[in-house]
Amino acid sequence: MTDLAFEAADAEQKRPGDTSGIGLLIPISLLFALLMLAALRSPFLISASGFGSAMIVVAPLILATYALMATVIAGRGTVDLAIGPLIGFINVSLIQLTSLGMSQSPFVVFAFCLLAGVAYQVIMSLIIIFVRVQPIIVSLSGYLALTGINIVILPRPGGMAPQFMASWGFGTSIFSPILLIVVLATAGWLLFKRTAFYTHLRLMGSDERAAYTSGIPITKVRIGAHVISGIFAGLAAICFTALISSGDPTQGTNYTLSAVTALVLGGASLAGGRASVMGSLLGAVNIYLISYSLSTFNFGTLQSYVTQLSYGAILVASLLLTLALPHIQRRIHNFSPPLFFVALSVLGLGVALHAVFDYGDLPEAATAADAMLFAPLAFGEAASATGGLLTYWLAVAFIAITIPVLLRMLVSGAGRSNLHVAVYVILAAMILLLTFALSNAGSGVLSFMEVN
């Protein structure tokens, strides 16, 4: 009966017009605030190579956050502090095997990384379940043990990643194997949420005693949660290895603090039972954007301290704002996170186009546009300038019209059943405009660099 009640409550949370998604209000708002700041400070981000570089850097953090999410949902305060050293352990082990010529095949590399992550997590779960040690003690012990083991395996950074990974870390294009791994991992989590196992996992994390009395095999569910965590840890290690193209026994430990912060920013409850895939994804991207935005400022020797301070300040501010969510829920009767995301995306797209647009060409473009009144067929530079001016003003008109429409839809009828086809049309138009911005960002970035 308890299980059926939980499933009914979960279905009730997803009914149209419900405000259960209000928890994504903060990470979505923070995402676009940081994205617009980063685009204005460094227009290089709004380009194919800029996006590719961002993806290769943020991918290990996203997957590490997914790995944490699986165990956090399981409850008992299971925050795996060893996730960073575990990524480092898989990395240095893979590099040593590569130097021995044992891991040049993609199949062997993926199998080794996934099995190594799963094996470690299963051992930790067995200690938690049968030895009955508190999860936080087990994870802290694993952190210290793996940190020392990594240095024993590879005393100093070095080595070479497998040959097929050589081009993965270049980050010169939008589409790459790293992007494919992140997309498949996210899709896998979304599909996993539809299974009965996930329902049991959430119930166990919310109330383990109620889960046990309702007949849920909590031992198997907890081990399964650690297996899932190990799989994502292995994927994170693969992306980390592609990022640095070598081995590093210490760098992986940095992902522990960043992943925990990203998880909390995404609205997860460290007490268990609640975590969102999209919230965790947004939290990880926000952590990257904080670091990226701060790197555009010159703090000298204080750069690393300012970054850590910013992590803490934004985390505390987000937690304080979370306390205000119940008051916001009482005033917002319909809230759709996708629609809110699209509304801010339009504004963010406008800032991105502004960041990469070369306003120095406007006078020439205007002259070319006047000439078009008398010469319908134009070629060469005049046609190019006219096309740039036309695209610019079309983007301005598109943004000016869609923002009020989306905000009106957001307030008046944000239920899932009320999402109009126009929202998907707007998304398609945004993708086309963003593609134009990425393909033509080179001149804007060069102009920005010349001015600075």
pLDDT digits (tens, 9 = 90+) for 303-358: 777 777 877 787 777 777 767 766 766 666 666 677 777 777 777 777 776 766 65
**Nearest-CA neighbor of 144 among 47, 256, 60, 34?**
256
Which of 95, 247, 254 is closest to 157 using CA atoms? 247
Q: What is the pLDDT of residues 256-265, one digit of tens each?
A: 888 888 888 8
Q: Is residue 59 part of a domain?
A: yes
- If asked whether residues 282 and 150 sit together in one domain, one would say yes
Looking at the structure, tell me whether residues 354 and 317 fall in a common domain: no
What is the count of structural domains for the chain?
2
Question: At which of 325, 352, 370 does a domain end?
Answer: 325
Ranked by mean pLDDT, the top range of 95-104, 166-175, 237-246 is 237-246
pLDDT > 50? residue 138: yes
pLDDT level of residue 389 (50, 70, 90 thresholds): low
- Overall average pLDDT of the 66-88 stretch: 86
What residues are paired with 332 via a beta bridge?
Answer: none
> Same domain for 198 and 319?
yes
Which of 295, 325, 355 terminates a domain? The answer is: 325
Per-residue b/e over 185-218, b at no fewer than 16 CB within 10 Å?
Answer: bbebbeeeeeeebbbbbbbbbbbbebbeebebeb
State mean pLDDT over 76-81. Answer: 78
Neighbours of 387 (CB within 10 A): 14
The answer to the question of residue 171 being in a domain is yes
The C-alpha atoms of residue 374 and residue 128 are separated, in whole angstroms, by 80
Residue 362, classified by CB atoms within 10 Å of its CB into exposed (0-12), middle (13-18) or buried (19+), is: middle
Residues 420, 316 share a domain: no
CA proximity to 112, closest of 126, 91, 133 = 91
Please tell me the pTM assigned to this model: 0.78
Q: Do 273 and 384 reside in the same domain of the chain? A: no
The pLDDT of 153-177, averaged and rounded, is 82
Percent over 70 (pLDDT), the chain: 68
The per-residue pLDDT for 366 is: 46
Q: Note the pLDDT of residue 118.
A: 94
Q: Where residue 90 sits, what CATH number does that domain have?
A: 1.10.3470
Q: What tens digit of pLDDT does each residue of 418-427 get? A: 455 555 556 6
Domain of residue 155 covers 2-10+22-325
Q: What is the mean pLDDT of the chain?
A: 75
For helices 48-73 and 196-206, give the axis angle rounded to 10 degrees: 60
Say if CB 256 and CB 232 are below 8 A apart. Answer: no
Return the higher-pLDDT residue of 416 and 224. Answer: 224
Task: Examine the fold and report which residue of 277, 294, 325 is the final residue of a domain before the chain moves on.
Answer: 325
Residue 353 lies in a domain: yes
DSSP string, 91-131: HHHHHHHHHTT---SHHHHHHHHHHHHHHHHHHHHHIIIII
What is the predicted pLDDT for the residue at 115?
95
